[in-house]
Structure 1
Amino acid sequence: MLDIILLAMLAGFIILRLRSELGKKTGNEPLPPAAPRPSANTGRVTVRADDGEDSAPSENNVIEMEENPALRKAYQDIRRADSRFDVPTFMEGATAAYGMILEAFWAGDRETLKDFLDASVLQQFTSAIDAREQNGYKVENRLIDVDKAEIINAQLLDRTAELTVHFTAEIVAVTKDADGNLIEGDLSDAVEVNDRWTFARDTRSRDPNWILVATRAG
């Protein structure tokens, strides 16, 4: 009888220890955090955040899939220097700036040009405006459409990003003298122009704007 009582006490003791060590399982316990999973493109590990979204994605996962290896390398360099860099956003702004700069140049709006051009390019544009005004010429140009805009060169020099864009556009180009007589162009005929403009930005700057630093036709 004493042996039976001792065995029962031992069994109870073991059960109490197990319960204290393991706790009670109800079937509603939260799942453990998801294990890190390898990135499909780089083999690096991306941890799933608590909100179910990927956090801190690998830089190779977020750069644009550019076929040109030189451009792809330049995009990577610029992205490392400035994580906010985004090619589609840049292209949208560059195309808008192309139209605004042309309109300001044709109108002789030097103040607007100061916001978009670096000192050397501003000097070239203002010199052309000065010469036009001295001759009494007036341009009545109009940008019809930008048919094509593509990045043809990109690089990171020290901390300055530079991207060159080739614009193909249709423009009505008309020049008149002080008396309103037509000197050049045709109001009813648009011509195709090709421009290669280089924009630059200091990646350390908080200013998100890019500045036009070089222009070339063709």
Structure 2
Amino acid sequence: MTENYPVVVIGAGPTGLAAAAHLIEQDQEVLVLEAGASVGATIKQWKHIKLFSPWRFNIDAAARRLLENTGDWVAPRETKLPTGAEFLEQYLEPLASHPKLISQIIYGHRVTKISRLHQDGRGVDKARTADRDESLFLIRTETAQGAVDLQARAVIDATGTWNQPNPVGRSGIEAIGESEAHAASFITSPLPDPLGADSEDFAGKTILVLGAGHSAANTIISLGRLQ
């Protein structure tokens, strides 16, 4: 009976849409729940940043087949490093608009809880209910109209980590006073835009960059250009 219910994918970013493309290719019913108002809502917050890998590593195979079947999608040059904005405009937005996918994405649904539900409608105890692993998933979402409960036979979490960045403190926990520093805007969100939207916040100030990866390097380069 669970075959009558969709596979629910949480998140309409690159991973979520790729998962949906693979499911569609296998003739599986799929439903994509996106908390934001559009596809790739998180990417829009760092659209000024270039990806760290070229196009050929960023287009999923099943998604490419879907797009190529439309006849009007032109694949980007595979060796180019796209910005977040280009990644959206040239790949994710056309993919989300594909006839086989566009009606399967629901925006403005933030998943807050996931549990199990018997097919006969009975609830499932967290510890003792028999056959819990074979029961339907119960998914609660928050919308502008209130809470909505949905049922699924499987769930794929593709929400990513953007809204749960690493803390400043050691040992994986926040430093003392870190929450207050965030509230006072002393600590920025990841991947700021020193040469654009955030230039006034950084100009003329001494900045500490935490991290030693590609994102930190890009931020340091932008701060140098701002200076």
TM-score, normalised relative to structure 1: 0.22
Higher strand proportion (structure 1 or 2): 1
Q: Which has the higher contact order (CA 8 A, sep 6+)?
A: 2
Larger radius of gyration: 1
